[in-house]
């Protein structure tokens, strides 16, 4: 195997993408459009785009650099539709906000972004966190390495809701901070809902995130109580449409989920207590479902450890976390549109691909699970230039040993990563 100068390529800015073609020789190729595993193919990349895809070991023009990926399957780079790049769960998470500065969290996010990209995820949708728009810009500028980020910025909540930044503060601290409003992502009326969306536009967000119900990890009693009226959700969605935003709705409880779907959101995140009625409504409305199984299992497991979560969080984590996987399986069998998301930040960044394994365990076919992180995820984002290896698409290509359709555990073995035609990871040279 002849290796390219990986470090030079990986640290180059987007403007420095070489015009010379690069050919990837893949032993297998996953066709994300059909869900079929194909045999040997050659992929030619130029100027950050896929120039051609040819069956077999194609003859190349003189001067074309080659990367031989023997024994490996090439796939489109994956997309995780639900991450939080500015945080990662630990027993110290609830106190760190009082001890660390935003700069500390920003430095951490650089490492999380690198781990995510190295795991094969070339795009993510960050659904809540003020760091993510800045991390997005740094990655786009070539300053740091990481996946392409679609950033929500501050999530929108109601007073006391899952994304209310004053939850858990004592009265003195709450008084010092002041009452949060639309600028801080807290709304209590239709007019404030509109204002909050406009503020996200001003802040540079790419997508809108609302917390339609309580949450598992927030410092509040209920994880499933509805926290918006249908009218407030509609106001958010209508205003978001004005600005070209899609709306993702965190939701665990059935009533809040139903209101979010009726209000016209693009996707339901988690969906723990999704009923047959809601599944039918989602199919009628074309609403996507992003399950986040791995995060649910992770928090349920950690809730068994004394001191890992506050006492008010533990019962929610045990009950809700254990239920998500079953719900995801039911949703697949009922024909709900499903796209890939993990809620990483709840679990450790870099373990992202474990979600595929959890999906297969709930009865989802491996090929569909992979498609959920390719074309399905692209559909949720509203883009058509990624998620499949075809001429004219972004050169977001990953490779891993073995066949992930035959053995889904192979998704944890990604050892080649290309994003926009730049190689960020390449198999070690065999002596």
C-alpha atoms less than 13 angstroms from C-alpha of 214 in its C-beta half-sphere: 17
Relative to beta strand 267-270, strand 36-38 is unpaired
Average pLDDT over residues 115-144: 96
The CA distance from 328 to 336, in Å, is 9
CATH topology of domain 6-76+387-425: Urease, subunit C; domain 1 (2.30.40)
Please list the alpha-helical segments (H only) found in 33-179.
93-99, 102-118, 132-140, 171-177
The CA distance from 356 to 124, in Å, is 15
Q: Check whether 108 has a pLDDT greater than 70.
A: yes
pTM, full prediction: 0.92
For 57-106, the pLDDT digits (tens) are 878 777 788 999 999 999 999 999 999 999 898 888 777 877 888 899 89
Q: Which two tokens stand for residue 367?
A: 């090929």
For 231-284, the pLDDT digits (tens) are 999 999 999 999 999 999 999 999 999 999 999 999 999 999 999 999 999 999
DSSP 8-state class, residue 413:
G
CATH topology of domain 78-381: TIM Barrel (3.20.20)
For 42-68, the pLDDT digits (tens) are 999 999 999 999 999 878 777 788 999
- Helices 354-361 + 314-333 axis angle, to 10: 70
* Cβ-proximal residues to 112 (8 Å cutoff; 6+ apart), any chain: 85, 86, 88, 344, 345, 349, 350
Which comes out higher in pLDDT, residue 309 or 11?
309
Q: What pLDDT was estimated at residue 12? A: 43
CA distances from 425 to 109, 119, 142, 227, 428 (A): 19, 10, 16, 43, 9
- Find how far residue 165's CA is from the centre of its chain: 22
Q: What pLDDT was estimated at residue 220? A: 66
**What residue segments make up the domains of the chain, in order of their start?**
6-76+387-425, 78-381
CA distances from 345 to 95, 110, 113, 126, 342 (A): 16, 13, 11, 10, 9
Burial of 13 (0-12, 13-18, 19+ CB in 10 A): exposed
For 305-360, the pLDDT digits (tens) are 998 888 888 887 888 777 898 999 999 999 999 999 999 999 899 999 999 999 99
């Amino acid at each position: 195997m002849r290796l390219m100068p990986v470090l030079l390529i990986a640290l180059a800015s987007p403007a420095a993408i070489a015009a010379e073609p690069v050919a990837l020789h893949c032993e297998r190729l996953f066709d994300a459009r059909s869900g079929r595993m194909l045999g040997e193919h050659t992929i030619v990349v130029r100027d950050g785009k896929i120039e051609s895809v040819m069956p077999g070991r194609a003859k190349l023009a003189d001067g074309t650099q080659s990367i031989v990926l023997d024994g490996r399957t090439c796939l489109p780079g994956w997309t995780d539709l639900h991450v939080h790049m500015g945080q990662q769960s630990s027993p110290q998470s609830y106190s760190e906000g009082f001890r660390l500065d935003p700069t500390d969290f920003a430095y951490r996010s650089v490492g999380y972004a690198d781990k995510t990209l190295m795991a094969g995820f070339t795009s993510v949708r960050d659904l809540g966190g003020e760091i993510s728009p800045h991390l997005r810009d740094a990655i786009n500028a070539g300053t740091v390495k990481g996946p392409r980020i679609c950033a929500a910025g501050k999530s929108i909540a109601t007073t006391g809701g899952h994304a209310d930044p004053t939850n858990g503060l004592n009265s003195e601290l709450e008084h010092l901070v002041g009452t949060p409003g639309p600028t801080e992502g807290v709304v209590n009326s239709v007019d404030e809902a509109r204002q909050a969306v406009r503020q996200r536009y001003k802040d540079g967000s790419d997508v809108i995130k609302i917390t339609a119900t309580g949450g598992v990890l927030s410092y509040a009693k209920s994880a499933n109580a509805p926290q918006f009226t249908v009218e407030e959700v509609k106001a958010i969605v209508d205003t978001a449409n004005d600005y070209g935003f899609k709306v993702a709705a965190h939701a665990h409880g059935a009533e809040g989920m139903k209101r979010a779907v009726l209000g016209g959101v693009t996707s339901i995140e988690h969906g723990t207590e999704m009923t047959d009625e809601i599944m039918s409504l989602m199919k009628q409305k074309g609403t996507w479902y992003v399950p986040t199984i791995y995060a649910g299992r992770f928090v349920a497991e950690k809730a068994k450890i004394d001191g890992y979560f506050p006492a008010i969080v533990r019962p929610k984590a045990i009950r809700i976390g254990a239920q998500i996987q079953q719900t995801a399986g039911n949703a697949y069998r009922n024909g709900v549109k499903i796209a890939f998301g993990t809620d990483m930040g709840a679990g450790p960044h870099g373990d992202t691909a474990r979600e595929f394994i959890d999906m297969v365990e709930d009865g989802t076919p491996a090929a569909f699970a992979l498609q959920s992180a390719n074309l399905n995820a692209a559909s949720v984002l509203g883009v058509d230039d990624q998620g499949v290896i075809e001429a004219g698409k972004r050169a977001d290509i990953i490779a891993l040993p073995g066949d992930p359709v035959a053995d889904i555990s192979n998704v944890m073995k990604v050892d080649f990563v290309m994003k926009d035609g730049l190689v960020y990871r390449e198999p070690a040279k065999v002596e």
